[in-house]
Structure 1
Amino acid sequence: MQSLLAITSPLFLLIALGAVSVRAGWIQQDATVAMGRYVLSFALPALMFEALSRRPLEDIIVGPFLVAYVCGSLIAFAIGLGVAAAVRRTPLFDNAFFGLGISMSNSGYLGYALIAQLLGDSALNAVAMAILTEVLVILPLTLVLIEVHHSREDQGLAHTLGRVLRMVAQNPLLLAIGLGLLFSGFGWHLPGALARTVDLLAGSAAAVALFAIGGNLAGQHLHRGLDGALAIAAGKLLIHPAAVLLMLTLVPAFDPTLTEAALILAGLPMVTIFPLLAQRYGQGERCASALLVTTLASFVTLNLGLWLFADL
């Protein structure tokens, strides 16, 4: 357990450092927002491109992993919708945020850092497959549910789908993964200067991302609606990994390292932009509280889960 904490603690200490820095006024929160945009737009896409372009294409996309992670995430999403509808009797768009919060992990920021430290670079394709699930399945599904509910009567489903697809297509991570797969498939390589630039960008991703998470959390508070926040947090840390674990038992066996990676990724807190998306629709307070609670609790649940998994 001590050796495990020696690996995971520095990651959460970096998150804490970001939060303390903002709280103490050493750095403005706007700066950490800019850091997050830098990671999302440049550092993490560079990292994904580098990790994928250097591996054989047949080793990147593992069919059983993708099936298990997609289906497990959809099960968690559906449970979020069902619980919100049955217990809270909330409208459709409110249910969508419950589903998103339970099923979309912080794979890019925290997931990459954890997988790289715990399992090594050979498992980074798991991060790429999780990001594909989130960007191509979970996020579009949420946005369609929300936009259909809020769109004007003269904007039909086709218009809404087109707008969501444009948003997805412009995602830098998706573009980087696509380029990485292309370079891998054709065996292409970047020229020396460009390769070194990409390498420098990729190397900055982990520390800046974790610091930015902490800085963003420093502006979150436990607002009213804490019961809903706790439900989302419990769903994210318990239901999502349980659903993925269930699906892993139903698909053909594959590399045990990737199996562990799938469970780690599913057990992460939700994506950092969760409250930002919800704020636009008046759900920001509950979702911000859920993000804060989930991130704090994940230090315990992740370490406990990893310790138990190591003994199996």
Structure 2
Amino acid sequence: MAILTITLPIFLLIGLGYVCAWRRLFTPDQVRGMGRFVITIALPALLFRALVQQQLRDVLEWRYLLVYALGSLALLIGGFLYARIVHKQGVTSAALRGFGMSVSNNGFIGFPMAMQLIGPHAAVPLALTYIVENLVMLPTVLALAESGQAGHAPVGILARRIGLGLVKSPLVIAIVTACIGLVIGIHPIGPLAKVIDLLAGASAPVALLVIGASLFGLSAKGMMRPVLEISAAKLLIHPLAMIGLLMLIPIADKDLRHTVILLATIPMLSIYPIIAQRYGEEKFCGAALLVTTALAFATVSGWVWLLQAGYLG
């Protein structure tokens, strides 16, 4: 029951979002609008609020960055090679399969879960995780996927496009602004602090409803075997990679150790099928998202139990 108290509310809210979409309480346009609200306003506010309450030395944890980056890259490269060699997939399809195995939905699912397990201190590893995903994982995936397309954009144009996306990202802006605030000792107070608190509080429930609503209409019919391979890699092998790296690169802080494992257990990004749509792979990636999220209730609960019981350090 103690474990279900942590995991069940997360998946109940996801289920509620699915039911709302099924009953047409949310239209697809409304779901996209809610998702944009989370990504551009609520989640940046939550990240900013949590980070400005930390010490700068606690935010700059290079060991965490290294473990999460190496573990995620190992899954991306391993998944890419597996798809190329075993399933004879093209470069773009293989890149998307590696993407599904290695990039977690930390903003919509990972952070609410970490907040319940770790508490407010989870904001620090989440910010570090976003640095890895935005500066390492997403550029690598997009570069691989584009390289498999005939007449793909030149490297310089692709790099410029990715760079502009990073500069304009509300999440990146929130992290940088919070770090500047820590350096110069300025914190929001009064009405501004209250507005940030209200927006931050809306992040988790709205995000989880969006996840559930986004799953409605997806189907895995006829694709279960390759989809289950992606699910197993994402939900089981990705966290195992983090555990192995922690043995080589130990992290002293217990909360950081637990969070780096926990965030790796989370299903892939909800925009996974949207990114794949550009390459005609949206049905397969949507099926992988649906199955992985459905299976995550059991696997994440298992990982949380192992963490709570002290079996993982």
Q: TM-score, normalised by structure 1?
A: 0.95
Whether contact under 8 Å (2:111, 2:122) holds in the other structure is no
What is the aligned partner in structure 1 of residue 53 from structure 2?
54
SS at 2:25's partner residue? coil
* Structure 2 stretches lacking a partner, 5+ long: none
1:265 is matched with 263
Q: Distance in 2 between matches of 1:167 and 1:227?
A: 35
What is the SS of the residue equivalent to 2:148? Answer: helix
Residues 270, 289 of structure 2: 8 Å contact kept: yes
In the alignment, does 2:75 pair up with 1:82?
Answer: no
Provide Cα deviations, 1:219-253, integer angstroms capped at 9, x if missing partner. 31224433221111111011111111111111133
- Give a deviation string over 1:49-86, Cα, whole Å, max 9, x none: 11112211101121211111111011111111111011
Partner of 1:188: 186
CA drift of 1:30 comes to 2.3
Q: Contact 2:239–2:264 (CA<8 Å) still a contact in 1?
A: yes
Alpha-carbon deviations, 1:247-271, whole Å to 9, x = none? Answer: 1111133111111111110000001
CA RMSD of aligned residues (A): 1.4
Q: How far apart in 2 are the matches of 1:163 and 1:185?
A: 30
* Shift in Å, 1:11: 1.1
Instruction: Note the C-alpha offset of 1:191.
Output: 4.5
Partner of 1:244: 242
- What pairs up with 1:148-167 in 2 under 5 angstroms? 148-150=147-149, 152=151, 155-167=153-165
What does 1:45-194 align with in structure 2 at a 5 Å threshold?
A: 45-150=44-149, 152=151, 155-194=153-192
Shift of 1:15: 0.5
Question: How far is the alpha carbon of 1:6 from its aligned partner?
Answer: 1.5
TM-score under structure 2 normalisation?
0.95
Task: Give the aligned partner of residue 25 of structure 1.
Answer: 24
Gaps of 5+ in 1: none
Alignment of 1:205 with 2:213, yes or no, is: no
- Contact kept, 8 Å, 1:223 with 1:285, in 2: the verdict is no
Query: Is contact 2:38-2:206 (8 Å) kept?
Result: yes
Q: Post-superposition shift, 1:192?
A: 2.2
The answer as to whether partners of 1:275 and 1:284 remain within 8 angstroms in 2 is yes
The alpha carbon displacement at 1:302 in A equals 0.8
CA contact (8 A) 1:148 1:160 kept: no
Identical-pair percentage: 37
Q: Report the residue type matching 1:183 in the other structure.
A: G
Matches of 1:253 and 1:164, distance apart in 2 = 31
Query: Take 2:147 and 2:170, find their aligned partners in 1: how far apart are those partners?
Result: 25
**Structure 2: how far apart are the matches of 1:164 and 1:148?**
14
- 1:3-39: CA deviation from partner (whole Å, max 9, x where unpaired): 1102211111000000011112233232122111100
Aligned residue-pair number:
310
186-195 or 172-181, larger mean C-alpha shift: 186-195
